[in-house]
C-alpha cells in the first residue's frame, strides 16, 4: 500500500519511519535548498509550500498518525468475503517492509535534556512487533541516558516516556482497528480465509462503540462469516503481549534503581552491630586501602550560537524583523516594545496570537544585546512572546497578554506595552522555560 500518499516524506527526503528529530533536520536542510530566494527553479515556490505543509503535518504526532494511515480505507460497504475480484494491497512494516498478520501503528517517546530545556520527540509508524521492539528499546535507552538532567521538567517527561515505551508505546485503537481489518481482507483475497477470520476477530477486539468504528465493525463481522458458519475463528498468538524481552530490557534500569534503593533502606534500618563483622583472632598485617577511583567528569552539552535563523536567513545587524517569516495581525493600532537593553545576549523573538485551541505566528524579529524593537499596527487580541537567548540557547515564553482598542466619541484608546528582557528571570514580564517544539 502507498505509505506516502501526498509525497510528504519524499519532499523532505526521509523514510516513513523517520524520527521527529530526523524530520526537523531534513526540513531545515530542504528549506534552504528550496527557498524561492535562492532556488531559481520555476517550481521552487510550489515545492517550498509543499515542504512547509509536509513539515507542519509530520512534526505533529497526531496529524502524522492520521496521515500515515489516510490511505488505509477499504470500501467497507462493498467488501465481500465470498467474491473478492482483485487482491487487496497488504499493509507492510514501515521499517522492514515485511507482511505480518498483526501490524500495528505505534508511537514511542524520546526525551533529551540539555543545559537548559528538554526536547520531546517521537518515533512512530506502522511496525511489525520485532521492529517495534527495536524502536522502543532505542527510544527508552536514549531517554534513560539523556532525559533526566534538565530541571524541572526533564525527570517528569523522562518518567512518562519510559513508562509508555516499556508498556508497548502509544497504540491508537481506532487506527489499529482499521489496520487489522485491512490486513484481514488482504489475507482473504489471497486465499487464506482461516487466517483472515483470525485477524478479523483480532480487529473486532480493537473496535469501540464509537459511530466512526461502525463500518469497520460491520466489515469484519461479514468476514467472520466466511467459510463454515458457526465455526469460531482460530486464535492468533498475540505478538504484542507485554511480558516479552523488550519489556525486561527497558525495565532493567528501573529494577536496578529499585534494588539499590531497597538495599539502602535496609542498611539504614539495620543496627550497626548486626552489620559488623567480628575481628579475626590472628593478627593481620595492615594493608593500605586502595585509593578511591576518580569519577570521569561529565561533559555538558555545549550550545553553539547558530549563524542564521531557523529558515536559513542570516541574523540582521540591527533590531528588526527576520526576513522570510510571515507578518500577521497588521490591521490594528496597538504597539509592543521589546526592551533588551538590560541583557548581554542577542535574542531571537516570536510573537504569537493565541486562540482557544491554537497559536499562530504573528511576527518574528531580532533584538541585539542592549537594543530594543517596537512592533506597530498590532490588532486587538490575545498574544504571548517567546524568545531564545542566542548566547546560551535558553528558550522562554511570557504569560499571555492582551491588546484592546476602545472607541470613544472622538478618539480610540489603544494598548501600548513595553517588555524588558533579562538573562535570568525578572524584568517586567513573568516567563517560563519552553522546549524547541513550543518555539516552532
Position 218 confidence tier, pLDDT thresholds 50, 70, 90: confident
| In a domain? residue 179 | yes
Q: For residue range 41-82, what is the model confidence (pLDDT) as tens digits?
A: 888 899 999 999 999 999 999 999 989 888 775 554 455 544
Are 244 and 124 in a shared domain?
yes
Question: How far are the Cα atoms of 97, 184, 329, 340 from residue 131, in angstroms, in the given order?
Answer: 10, 21, 46, 49
Least confident interval from 140-154, 324-338, 409-423: 409-423
| In a domain? residue 313 | no
C-alpha cell at 101: 498478520
Q: What range defines the domain where residue 18 resides? A: 8-59
Least confident interval from 103-107, 168-172, 279-283: 279-283
Q: For residue range 255-307, what is the model confidence (pLDDT) as tens digits?
A: 888 888 788 777 776 665 455 445 454 444 555 555 555 555 555 567 788 88
Are 48 and 87 in a shared domain?
no
The β-bridge partners of 398 are 431
List strands edge to edge, sheet with 372-378: 372-378, 334-339, 416-420
Cis peptide bond N-terminal to 152, omega within 30: yes
CA 171 to chain centroid, in Å, comes to 15
pTM given for the model: 0.55
Domains of the chain: total: 3
Instruction: Give the model's pLDDT for residue 349.
Output: 94
Give me Rg for the CA atoms of the chain. 29
Instruction: Give the model's pLDDT for residue 81.
Output: 45
Task: List the end-to-end C-alpha distance of the chain, in Å, as a whole number.
Answer: 32
Are 252 and 397 in a shared domain?
no
Instruction: Give the model's pLDDT for residue 85.
Output: 44
| In a domain? residue 357 | yes
Are 75 and 39 in a shared domain?
no
| In a domain? residue 288 | no
pLDDT at 308 over 70: yes
pLDDT at 175 over 80: yes
- Reference 67, options 134, 9, 130; nearest CA is 9
Instruction: Give the model's pLDDT for residue 191.
Output: 87
Instruction: Give the model's pLDDT for residue 311.
Output: 85
Position 215 confidence tier, pLDDT thresholds 50, 70, 90: confident
Q: What gap in Å lies between CA 301 and CA 116, rounded to an integer?
A: 10
Q: For residue range 15-32, what is the model confidence (pLDDT) as tens digits?
A: 888 888 899 999 999 999
Q: What is the CATH number of the domain that holds 27?
A: 1.10.287.110
Are 94 and 173 in a shared domain?
yes
| In a domain? residue 279 | no
Q: What is the CATH number of the domain that holds 350?
A: 2.60.40.780
Share of the chain above pLDDT 70, in %: 86
User: In whole numbers, what is the pLDDT of the chain averaged over residues?
Assistant: 84
Q: What is the mean pLDDT of residues 367-389?
A: 92
Are 141 and 223 in a shared domain?
yes
Amino acid at each position: 500500500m502507498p505509505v506516502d500518499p501526498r509525497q510528504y516524506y519524499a519532499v523532505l527526503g526521509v523514510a516513513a519511519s523517520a524520527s521527529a528529530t530526523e524530520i526537523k533536520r531534513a526540513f531545515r536542510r530542504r528549506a534552504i535548498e528550496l527557498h524561492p530566494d535562492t532556488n531559481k527553479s520555476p517550481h521552487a515556490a510550489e515545492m517550498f509550500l509543499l515542504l512547509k505543509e509536509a513539515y507542519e503535518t509530520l512534526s505533529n504526532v497526531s496529524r502524522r498518525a492520521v496521515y500515515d494511515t489516510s490511505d488505509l480505507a477499504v470500501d467497507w460497504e462493498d467488501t465481500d468475503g465470498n467474491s473478492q475480484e482483485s487482491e487487496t494491497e497488504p499493509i507492510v512494516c514501515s521499517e522492514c517492509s515485511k507482511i505480518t498478520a498483526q501490524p500495528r501503528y505505534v508511537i514511542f517517546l524520546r526525551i533529551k535534556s540539555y543545559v537548559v530545556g528538554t526536547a520531546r520527540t517521537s518515533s512512530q509508524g506502522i511496525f511489525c512487533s520485532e521492529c517495534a521492539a527495536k524502536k522502543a528499546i532505542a527510544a527508552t535507552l536514549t531517554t534513560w541516558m539523556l532525559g533526566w538532567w534538565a530541571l524541572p521538567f526533564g525527570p517528569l517527561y523522562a518518567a512518562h516516556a519510559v513508562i509508555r515505551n516499556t508498556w508497548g508505546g502509544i497504540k491508537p485503537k481506532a487506527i489499529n482497528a482499521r489496520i487489522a481489518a485491512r490486513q484481514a481482507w488482504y489475507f482473504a483475497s489471497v486465499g487464506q480465509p482461516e487466517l483472515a477470520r483470525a485477524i478479523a476477530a483480532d480487529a473486532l477486539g480493537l473496535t469501540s462503540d464509537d459511530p466512526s468504528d461502525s463500518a469497520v465493525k460491520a466489515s469484519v463481522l461479514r468476514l467472520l462469516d466466511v467459510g463454515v458458519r458457526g465455526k469460531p475463528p482460530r486464535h492468533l498468538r498475540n505478538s504484542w503481549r507485554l511480558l516479552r524481552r523488550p519489556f525486561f530490557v527497558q525495565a532493567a534500569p528501573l529494577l536496578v534503581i529499585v534494588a539499590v534503593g531497597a538495599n539502602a533502606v535496609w542498611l539504614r534500618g539495620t543496627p550497626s552491630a548486626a552489620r559488623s563483622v567480628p575481628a579475626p583472632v590472628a593478627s593481620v598485617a595492615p594493608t593500605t586501602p586502595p585509593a578511591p577511583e576518580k569519577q570521569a567528569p561529565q561533559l555538558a552539552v555545549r550550545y553553539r550560537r547558530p549563524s542564521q535563523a531557523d529558515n536559513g536567513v542570516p541574523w540582521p545587524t540591527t533590531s528588526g524583523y527576520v526576513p522570510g517569516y510571515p507578518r500577521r495581525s497588521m490591521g490594528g493600532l496597538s504597539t509592543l516594545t521589546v526592551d533588551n537593553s538590560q541583557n548581554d545576549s542577542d535574542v531571537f523573538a516570536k510573537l504569537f496570537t493565541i486562540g482557544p485551541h491554537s497559536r499562530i505566528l504573528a511576527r518574528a524579529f531580532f533584538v541585539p544585546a542592549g537594543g530594543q524593537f517596537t512592533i506597530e499596527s498590532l490588532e486587538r487580541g490575545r498574544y504571548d512572546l517567546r524568545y531564545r537567548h542566542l548566547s546560551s540557547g535558553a528558550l522562554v515564553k511570557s504569560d499571555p497578554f492582551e491588546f484592546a482598542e476602545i472607541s470613544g466619541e472622538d478618539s480610540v484608546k489603544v494598548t501600548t506595552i513595553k517588555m524588558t528582557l533579562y538573562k535570568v528571570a525578572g524584568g517586567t514580564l513573568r516567563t517560563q522555560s519552553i522546549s524547541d517544539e513550543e518555539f516552532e
